[in-house]
Amino acid sequence: MNNGYLLVYDFDGTVADTFQPSPNGVGVYEAYRLAVNNIFGQDGLKIYDQAGGLQNRAPEEIVSLVLAGNDQMIKQAEVCFDQKNKTLRRLVPDGKGAPLKWINGDKNCLQKTITEMLVLIKLSYLMDEIGTSFSDGAVWPRPCVGFWDFIRAIEDLRMENLDIQNAIISSGHDEFIKKTFAVWGFDPPRIMLTDDDMRGRNYPAEFQKRVKPSSYLFDIIQSSWISDGILFSEYARHIELIYDTRRRMMYFGDDLNKDGGLAMSAGVPFGLFDPKQVHNYKHSNSFFAFGDWRDVARFFRRNDVKKLLSEGQPIIRVVSCF
């Protein structure tokens, strides 16, 4: 039986402050607007802006809202496809993402192709920004406040033979996340589920079930944790492990609706990273808010918390002490 713990994180705005522009003035917000404009033109950018911009949407959600039955936007995207599809940098690991092929009349295929273009164009703006230096010597993207201290605290717990692993669920992308951890001098989590994994999937059929706050994302992460992505042949054994290990998982994010909704639908405690602390949150056994990862690091270093972890207590019991 797996008696360890899995701490799962969002990436953008939770682990890395990718929303702050780089020294060259390019962050996630700017890169998305540039990519939307490249593909759909000013009319498409207007639709995107009127819908509130990014708002932690996955790429396929953005494409869906811009298209929304607008044939002119599809024609505009086709022009971009003809111009760029042979020169786009493949910034997605082999076997992930969706193929770049244009099949008129196949709306599902077209949406996936346009989404893939959006991702690749956005990444073409962002990847070269990773590691660029600010005037204070820090590099872009900066880690969110105190995150390095928190990672070191988890590493220290492992040195004390506590089995705690990290994982990421993000609408971001593998290569971006890996490169960011590399410039920070850390190894990325072994378990990651990003938009690169979900874009090429045909199941679930409704793309809304492949993005936050769908608990399906948490199911995939959990399966990877307990069986390296391979389901047990003994179905009952796998169900038993799912039930048991879900009690030792939690999720951290910066969006109360999407990230908090994911945690709620998955039935796990949620830690909200809100460095501005603009609201007065009511903490509970399954929810707490914090503005500095160092506070969470200090919490996990407490002797009473380490005792609960060593006993294999449900994570909701552990975080109720926060």
Q: What is the pLDDT of residues 129-162, one digit of tens each?
A: 999 999 999 999 999 999 999 999 999 999 999 9
Q: Taking Cα atoms as reference points, which of 172, 211, 122 lies closest to residue 16? A: 172
Asked if the structure places residue 191 within a domain, the reply is: no
Q: Are residues 254 and 125 both part of a single domain?
A: no
**Helix %, strand %, coil % for the chain, to 5?**
50, 10, 40
Asked if the structure places residue 111 within a domain, the reply is: yes
Q: Is the pLDDT of residue 231 over 50?
A: no
Q: Are residues 272 and 303 both part of a single domain?
A: yes
Mention every residue, 6+ apart, whose C-beta is less than 8 A from residue 239.
none
What is d(CA 6, CA 219) in angstroms, rounded to the nearest whole number? 13
Q: Taking Cα atoms as reference points, which of 201, 232, 238, 162 lies closest to residue 5? A: 162
pTM value is 0.89
Q: Are residues 46 and 103 both part of a single domain?
A: yes
Note the Cα 314 to chain centre separation in Å. Answer: 24
Q: Which domain holds residue 95?
A: 28-129
Q: Are residues 100 and 156 both part of a single domain?
A: no
24-56 confidence digits (pLDDT tens): 999 999 999 999 999 999 999 999 999 999 998
Residue position matching structure tokens 């874009």: 199
Q: Are residues 250 and 276 both part of a single domain?
A: yes
Q: Are residues 219 and 118 both part of a single domain?
A: no
pLDDT at 207: 75
Q: What is the mean pLDDT of the chain?
A: 91
Torsional class of 146: left (φ above 0), alpha (ψ -120 to 50), beta (otherwise): left
> Which of the listed ranges 78-92, 94-108, 163-177 does the model predict with the highest average pLDDT?
163-177
What is the number of domains present in the chain?
A: 2
pLDDT at 1: 43
Last residue of a domain, one of 129, 154, 179: 129
Q: Are residues 151 and 295 both part of a single domain?
A: yes
Asked if the structure places residue 188 within a domain, the reply is: no
Q: Are residues 166 and 291 both part of a single domain?
A: yes
Residue position matching structure tokens 């949150």: 281
248-279 confidence digits (pLDDT tens): 999 999 999 999 999 999 999 999 999 988 78
Q: Are residues 163 and 69 both part of a single domain?
A: no
Q: Are residues 117 and 250 both part of a single domain?
A: no
Count, residues in the chain: 322
pLDDT at 268: 96
Q: Residue 141 in contact with residue 132, Cβ under 8 Å?
A: no
Q: Are residues 118 and 216 both part of a single domain?
A: no
Last residue of a domain, one of 129, 162, 185: 129
Asked if the structure places residue 13 within a domain, the reply is: yes
pLDDT confidence band for 240 (50 / 70 / 90)? low
Q: Are residues 35 and 79 both part of a single domain?
A: yes
Asked if the structure places residue 199 within a domain, the reply is: no
Q: Residue 36 in contact with residue 59, Cβ under 8 Å?
A: no
CATH code, domain with 153:
3.40.50.1000
Percent of the chain with pLDDT over 70: 95
Last residue of a domain, one of 129, 159, 185: 129
| Extended beta strands in the chain, E state | 5-9, 164-169, 191-193, 249-253, 270-273, 287-290
- Measured from the Cβ of residue 141, the count of other Cβ atoms closer than 10 Å reads 28
